[in-house]
Structure 1
Amino acid sequence: MARYGSSENSREEGTMVSEATVTAAEIARIAGVGPAAVSNWRRRYAEFPTPVGGTAGSPQFLLSEVVNWLEGRGRSVRITPADEVWRAMEAVRDPARPGAILASAGFRLLGEEPSRRQAGAEDGAPPLPAALSADIEDLGRKLGAAGAFEQLLHRWTEAHARQVEVTPSPVAALMCALVGSTDGDAPVSVLDPACGTGGLLLQAAGSGTTALLGQDLDRDLAAITAVRLRLHGHDVSVKPGDSLLGDAHAASRVQGVVCDLPSGQRDWGRAELGYDTRWTHGLPPKGEPELAWLQHALAHLDDGGRAVLLMSAGVAARPSGRRIRAELLRRGTLRAVVALPSGSSRTPGAHLWIVERTRAAAPPEDVLFIDVDLFVGPDAEQSGITTDWDNVRAAVTSVWHRFCEGEELDADFAASVPVTVLLSDDADVTPALHVRRESGGPVDLTCLEEDRAGWLRLLNGLPNALPAVRETPMPPTGPSEGDTSPRVSLDDLIRSGALRTWRGSTVQDTDDGATVRVPLLTLDDGLSRAGPSGHTYAAESERLREGDVLVFAAAPERARPADPREYGAVAGQGVTVLRPERASLDPWFLAGTITGGPGTGRFGAPAVTTGRRSRLDTGRLFLPVRSQEEQHRIGQAFRDIARFEESLAAVVDQGRSVARQLAEALAAGLVDPIDDRRR
């Protein structure tokens, strides 16, 4: 990469401002590593390039310095032609209008000069430098005009991820599939009143929609959507402006509306729109902007038209929106709510609402609820399992079509619920409340009785699990106020060599030659005792072994010796490891003494520092001085208490499980109670 000159020369010549910069995410992409690796490089190597701009949370580095550093360490650098063009665009963009340069590039790929009319605003996309225009045209010849723009758009959204919200393409595909007819036909006309970069409109056009309308508050995003659709060969009418306060398509009626509703709006214009004719289901409260956008969508629908809206899960249950939700149910406007898989959208636990402008004389009597997590499996996204979105889309649309046709639902991740049921209480339309797995057939009485007998055995074993104790003999001088048995601080034990301690660290993605790949025990893993769930690179000496005591951030009362399944792992962030010398300190005595006080140091001042992440303060925690034999005897009692608590938890959990099985079997009419009192 000889084209990148010395950064020192650049700084001397005063060209640093115009030189291309990269974020940490972009460094990871060109180096072919994960984002965590870049963080590790910054922390471990003093010679790593220093930031020249950006913010503390999203620093920017000179591209030339990054490339020279990577190549100096023998790492390959993958900079594509699109990367080259994007860097040149970033160097000349207007910080006040980050999207304007992308819109200008799109017009150049169309073979047009950006104009005020094309940009849809009085001050349209700015002209490009001649050299940059030539590079963009060359990229268009290599990748095709549409392909080149999509590459540049991807880099733009990556660089501005915190400012621009992009609907994931699988979610957009599902929304456009649901807005169509039950025969699979796409609506002729579709509106997106908050179109962003145009992903939903592009998906709708690909599904067969021919009349495309859009609007966005950001004039540059409106221009990006317009040029993007045109590059893909679609006609579109996109206007800039606030759809709620200044509806640019007020006279238009469409067959479908798709929209990823704006999130976090604090002032959506309620004061100015108090008597607006769109509020046919009620004036939305100030804290319910989504219900304002929903009614805006309804106002643009033809009779029989349908809107599919992506919004946060909180809209389904917030008390402030209960009255409007109830009105949507009474009129048959709300037809379905789909809970998307966790992690499938920028909003955790996002929902799709399907609403219709019904033309039926009698409103529909049922609402469909779908919980996709029950279809793909709980926590699939978090556990690293890639969701098969083609399968999800086929399953959800099939259930929706069966519901629309009045057919019986045979999916255990969906339910049809009468409106009369939903109108009770708070009109809560959260799918998880209404989708229940049905009983799988006749109950197995043998298994049920075995579970019941097993629970009784656990219960009967509890009385003998706790250790018997006696009062500690008083010292010969007798008790006196403030007097305690001899004690020693953890700091003293550390200085004497009887105890070693360290705190767990963050994940390391790469091996620097002095580390090995080992299992990682996170804070959640330790608290749940589920065993290590990840991997990292760490020094061999830091791996957990028998006798190590684990102390957990914000929960020191749950300190314990490491379990056998945790041996060989390393501690992650929030986990402190205490390694006693077995000849002088018993692990169970150490752990039990730490847990002896609820949140305070045993025999001393508070031993947990408060703050963003609590940790153990070894200078404020004291242990009583006991002989090795006494430590072992007391440690065994602590072990018995810990086992009792585990058994007690098992009794509670298993008892609840047995009770639930019995209740479900009785409710389903599969069993009858035996009443011994009738004998």
Structure 2
Amino acid sequence: MPQQSSAQVTAAEISRIAGVTRATVSNWRRRYDDFPEPSGGVESSPLYDLEAVRAWLASRGYASAASPAEELRTTLRLSAHGTGDGEDGGTADLLLLVLAAARRTPDQLTAAARLPDTDLAVRAERDAAGVADAVPGGGGVRFADTDAAVLRALYVCVRDEGGQATLGVLAERELEDSAASGAYRTPAPLADLLARLLPGAPARVLDPACGSGALLEAAARRGAAELYGQDVLPVQARRSAVGLLLTAPPGTTVSVRAADSLRADAFPDLAADAVLCNPPFGDRDWGYDELAYDPRWAYGVPARAESELAWVQHSLAHLTPGGHAALLLPPATAGRASGRRVRAELVRSGALRAVVALPVGASVPFHIGLQIWILQRPEPGGPEHKSVLFVDTAESSAADARTDARTGPRTRGGSRSASLDWARITGQALDAWHAFAADPDAFEDEPGVARAVDVVDLLDETVDLTPTRLVRASRADVDPAKLAAEADATRRSLVKAAKSLGRAAGYDDWDAAGGSAREWRTATAADLARGGALTLLRTTPEGSRGRGDDDGIGKGGHGAGAARPVFTGSDISRGSGPTGDPATVRTDTAPVIAVGDVLVRAVASGGGGAMALVVGEAEAGALLGPHVHLFRPDPARLDAWFLAGFLGAEDNIAGASTGSTVLNVSPGRLRVPLLPLEEQRRYGEAFRRVHELRAEAQRATRLAEETARLLSGGLTGGQLLPSSREAAAGTAAVRGRGGDSPH
């Protein structure tokens, strides 16, 4: 038997390991004489020996409630000083080990996890050394006997859940450690949008501020064969390299360096087909003094307060003539007075092709609406660019975004971003950009959404490139009759939706529990899966090796076609159909959802919306997207609506959520009451009615916002006029109350 490293856990840690509440742990301590005695801490906050707790839980069937990912999280939390002694701390060394472990077979990983502590540390060092050349700063990794618990948990997590899932667990801790530096991951839908805005199929792509590598991963999904990244934080550069090597197709060139791109460009001679970048914002220490005469400033020396315009020109300098760049920038870049001269030259030269405004909440910082700048390096003798495209995707979802920014969880994981309608945002941006890029002179403006503005009209004293200002200026071109018809049709739909909402709200078929609230005898979803009452499915990450059948967790492998839509967490929240991009999943292994499946969002969000959904005929056949758990019940034993109602319950989700920067729902820890099928169906019908109420409320809210937007815009834009009948009625009402007109 291997020597197991000793560790101590709190009652809160025990509740997470067992998948129960803190109150349950307190109850165990009182009821069971054989519950482990405290081994440390103080009376008000005792500590318990981890191995003694696990043995006690195993004797009562609770030991398997925590997934390998949760076991790794717990072990990392219990590791007082991290692991390894590399220059960036223990997490950076573990990132390197993830890459090495992902290249081993499941049997090899099992054998490694069973080694004694000393041999395990030696094995981990040897594995990490084998991939050191592929990762920046990969040398000098050292592990000790005291690191064995973390190493063992890491090998098991890679074996059972794959390298990407393991990398995600380490990233949670890494981002906490890097919070002061502003490190965060670009949300996947936004990363995919930026990659899809690059025309054609660029083979060589650079991200000079690559962070975790999300943009380069998106480029790889679009077919890029050479990926180059640089980041000032060594731990971020290492994470980016590991993530890309795990996910990029075989044969892809991956080169990531750790250094400041503006001060110490690691790829000075690189001419890329495309550049993707989400640079740091508001950095006044970007090198203004020492870089004043840098040849990259072909469009003007950026002011000290304009670090973003330095990144814009750095990106253009790395492009081949005619190559494109897409950068995510704060809105101030478009209108700040200090950047006027550089903006004017970018417009005059034709380097700036388009600016796309995003809704509030698209990415960090969540409280402002960011912009995407699309640039093209001018070609000698190439076509003259006479106009710039401006797209405003923010307006129709502004209310939802503002609500989400106020109420959403304060995380860096993009859960606020997930609540946005990315299908609509992506469609508006791509449709307008593709039409404009194909023939700028023939582009037809879409009032309120997209407008091509002549260069001469932009070169005024301010050179303000804010899309909202420029796009809304085109409202005067809207046909009044067309707008009136659209507003009336939307209003009629709202009236119908309000009637449907009234019918749904009329449901009152329930009784108060007598005396006190009903108590449940429950089982975890993992227990039900082992007993065959349901099957748990998930989308297989790149490079993962699904775990065996003994835990009840299934894998994909349904031969899904690439044309199928993808069901995302935001689709569940909004109650919409599947809107995800197939490029975000492995379509050859992603599970195909079927009628009666129950989908649960994998990231808990405080921004509202449903957590669970029962699949109907309209949704069947779509692919299971990332960050969604699929529960497939045996209809002879479990009612689908009953299951969805309890799985999505607020208390249940809270008890099964882990993590601090990102709240992840562990599916196996969700609990379900054990009730006869007939009683389940009664609850299921009640939950179905509740679902209808929420869906009708969301539909009515969307239509109300759209109706108000059309009417308000038409009145202020001059296309709609107040009715003379309404004006007369209003005057009569005032006079009837004895009111006088003010003078």
Instruction: State the TM-score bracket (shorter-chain normalisation).
Output: 0.5 to 0.7
In structure 2, relative to structure 1, the CA distance for the partners of 1:666 and 1:390 (3 Å cut) is: closer
- Aligned in 2, Cα 1:157/1:220: closer, same or farther, shift over 3 Å? closer
1:429 matched to 2:465: yes
C-alpha separation between the residues in 1 aligned to 2:211 and 2:184? 7
Separation in 1, partners of 2:177, 2:228:
25
**Displacement after TM superposition at 1:356 (Å):** 0.7
Residue 194 of structure 1, CA deviation = 1.0
Higher relative contact order (CA closer than 8 Å, sequence separation 6+): 2
Match of 2:430 in 1: 397
Q: Is the 8 A contact 2:207 2:216 kept in 1?
A: yes
Q: Deviations over 1:271-319 (max 9, x none)?
A: 1111111000111111111111111111100011011001211111111
1:201 has 2:216 as partner? yes
Instruction: Select between 299-308 and 116-125 the one with higher mean Cα deviation.
Output: 116-125
* CA-to-aligned-CA distance 1:432-475 (integer Å, 9 cap, x gap): 11112453433999xx9xxxxxxxxxxxxxxxxxxxxxxxxxxx
What is aligned with 2:339? 321
Show the counterpart of 2:121: none
1:189 equivalent among 204, 220, 227: 204
Residue 659 to residue 177, structure 1, CA distance change in 2 (3 Å): closer
**What amino acid maps onto 1:351 in structure 2?**
Q
Match of 1:257 among 241, 252, 275: 275
Aligned to 1:109: 102
Could you tell me how far 1:227 is from its partner in structure 2? 1.9
| Residues 65-144 of structure 1 mapped to structure 2, 5 A cutoff | 79-90=66-77, 91=79, 92-93=82-83, 97=89, 98-111=91-104, 112-114=127-129, 117-121=133-137, 124-127=140-143, 131=148, 132-144=150-162
Q: Using the TM superposition, give the Cα deviation of residue 143 of structure 1 relative to its aligned residue in structure 2, in angstroms.
A: 2.3
Q: Given the superposition, is the C-alpha separation of residues 362 and 214 from structure 1 closer, same or farther in structure 2, using an over 3 Å criterion? A: same
Distance 1:299 1:443, change over 3 A: closer
1:155 is matched with: 172
Deviations 1:580-630 (A, max 9, x none): xxxxxxxxxxxxxxxxxxxxxxxxxxxxxxxxxxxxxxxxxxxxxxxxxxx
The answer for the alignment partner of 1:664 in structure 2 is 718
TM-score, normalised to structure 1's length?
0.54
- CA 1:157–1:400: 2 relative to 1, 3 Å: farther
- Output the CA distance in 1 between the equivalents of 2:49 and 2:332: 42
Summarize the Cα distance change of 1:64–1:430 in structure 2 as closer, same or farther, 3 Å threshold: farther
User: Quick check: which one's helix share is greater?
Assistant: 2
Report the 3-state secondary structure (helix = DSSP H, G, I; strand = E; otherwise coil) of the residue aligned with 1:354: strand
The TM-score normalised by the length of structure 2 is 0.50
Shift in alpha-carbon separation, 1:321–1:21, aligned structure 2, 3 A:
farther
Contact 2:95 2:167 in 1 (8 A): no
Deviation, 1:370, is 1.1
Whether 1:275 and 2:275 are equivalent positions in the alignment is: no
Further displaced range: 216-225 or 385-394: 385-394
- Work out whether residues 324 and 377 of structure 2, in 8 Å CA contact, stay in contact via their aligned partners in 1: yes
C-alpha spacing 1:142/1:417, structure 2 compared with 1 (3 Å): same
Write out the 4+ residue segments of structure 1 that deviate beyond 6 Å after TM superposition: 26-33, 61-65, 657-660
- Return the alpha-carbon distance in structure 2 between the equivalents of residues 326 and 21 of structure 1: 60
Q: Verify the 8 A CA contact 1:369 1:417 in the aligned structure 2.
A: yes
What per-residue deviation string (whole Å, max 9, x for no partner) do you get for residues 404-448 of structure 1?
112433534111111111111311111111112453433999xx9
Amino acid at match of 1:188: A
Determine the C-alpha separation between the residues in 1 that align with 2:394 and 2:191: 18
Count of aligned pairs between the two proteins: 427
1:28 Cα deviation after fit: 11
Whether the 8 Å CA contact 1:109–1:149 is kept in 2: the answer is no
Structure 1 residues 124 and 257: CA distance shift in structure 2, 3 A? farther
Which structure is larger by alpha-carbon Rg, 1 or 2?
A: 1
Match of 1:326, SS state, is helix
Provide, for residues 122-175 of structure 1, a one-character-per-residue CA deviation record: whole Å limited to 9, x for no partner.
85544475734443333222223x344344345335644725211000000000
Distance 1:249 1:226, change over 3 A: same
1:352 corresponds to 2:372: yes
Q: Pick closer, same or farther for the CA change 1:147–1:121 going to 2, 3 Å.
A: closer
**Deviation, structure 1 residue 269:** 0.9
Taking only aligned residues, the RMSD between alpha carbons, in angstroms, comes to: 4.7
Q: Which residue of 2 aligns with 1:468?
A: none
2:193 matched residue in structure 1: 174
Note the residue ranges of structure 1 that are not aligned, 5 or more in a row.
42-46, 54-60, 449-512, 515-532, 536-653, 668-679
Report if aligned partners of 2:175, 2:184 keep a CA contact under 8 Å in 1. Answer: no
In structure 1, how many angstroms separate the alpha carbons of the residues matched to 2:713 and 2:215? 48
2:389 is aligned to 368
- 1:286 and 1:32 map into 2 onto residues whose CA distance is 52
Residue identity opposite 1:87 in structure 2: T
CA distance in 2, matches of 1:382, 1:120: 41
In the alignment, does 2:419 pair up with 1:386? yes
Tell me the secondary structure at the aligned position of residue 338 of structure 1: strand
Structure 1 residues 331, 78: closer, same or farther in 2, change over 3 A? farther
How far residue 202 of structure 1 moved from its aligned partner, in angstroms, is 1.1
| Further displaced range: 170-179 or 353-362 | 353-362
CA contact (8 A) 2:391 2:467 kept: yes
Pair 1:364–1:87, CA change in 2 (3 A): same
Q: Against the structure 1 CA distance between its residues 225 and 444, is the aligned structure 2 distance closer, same or farther, given a 3 Å change threshold?
A: closer
Measured against aligned partners, the alpha-carbon deviations of 1:54-97 in whole angstroms (never above 9, x if no partner) come to xxxxxxx99979x99xx9xxx99953211212333451336963
Relative to structure 1, the CA distance from residue 659 to residue 178 in structure 2 (aligned partners, 3 Å threshold; closer, same or farther) is closer
Q: Which amino acid aligns with 2:347?
A: L
Equivalent residue letter for 2:255 = S
